Amino acid sequence: MKLSLALISILISVIDARRSNGFLNSCDRNTLDYNDSSGSNDWGTLKVKCAGVPKFINLQSCISNSNGYLVWNTENGHFAETCGTCKIHTSTLNSIKQLRCTFCFKPGGVKRLGAAINLDDGIGYEDGTLICN
């Protein structure tokens, strides 16, 4: 029982540490903008002001589509190729900033509606740069 409580305590600490590294602790959540225009050079790019300076990160290198769900994946991103109409969304329940897509394709071409991912869970801000965690 003591080992289980210790393990739970460690897991909570790791989760809290990851959240504290989230970029929204350092950046202005009201300036978030996502480019969903597939014909542009910065397609898939998230823009936000941090300390008053515009910062950019291409979410194509951070997020992938896994069976119709958006997941953090820095090795094989490219979600925007199989997901459509993606925008920044603020959860009304807890004000969490999400990237929400109207749909993402599952294998076989079936659409899964309403894919979303919490941005602060996978993007950090270190030394003035936005990074994929």
Domain chopping of the chain, boundaries = 2-132
How many helices (H) and strands (E) would you count in the chain? 1, 10
Calculate ∠ Cα 101-54-96, nearest 5°. 40
pTM for the full predicted model: 0.80
Mean pLDDT by 10 residues, the chain (133 residues): 45 40 91 91 94 96 96 91 95 90 96 96 95 92
Close Cβ partners of 64 (under 8 Å, ≥ 6 residues apart) = 70, 71, 73, 76, 77, 78, 79
**Is it true that domain 2-132 has CATH number 3.40.50.300?**
no
